[in-house]
Amino acid sequence: MSDSLEAYHASHRSPAIVNCNGNDMEIGRVFAEYKDKLVIIDGENKKEHEYLIPKTKIDRYDDNQVYFDIPRNSLNEFEV
């Protein structure tokens, strides 16, 4: 993902999506980039989960969402 696309997704608070048993599941929204990672926060007003996910885990993206190649049950290793 290019720097301009990362800035776009952070400024638009794009949903972050992972695959959960064959179904797409939103885990939060892209809030910022930090070095080689994206900051994903679930719960904008009351932060329930915050993740630092390496950009290398991005599977694909479109104008509205960022898809990560991470199984839902492995998210705890990226949680801060």
Give the pTM: 0.83
Work out the number of other CB atoms within 10 angstroms of the CB of residue 20. 14
Residue 46: predicted pLDDT: 72
- pLDDT of 3: 63
Please give the residue range of the domain that contains residue 63: 3-78
How many domains does the chain fold into? 1
What CA–CA distance (Å, rounded) separates 4 from 40?
Answer: 17
33-40 average pLDDT score: 91
CATH code at position 23 = 2.30.30.240
pLDDT at position 38 over 60: yes
Mean pLDDT of the chain: 87
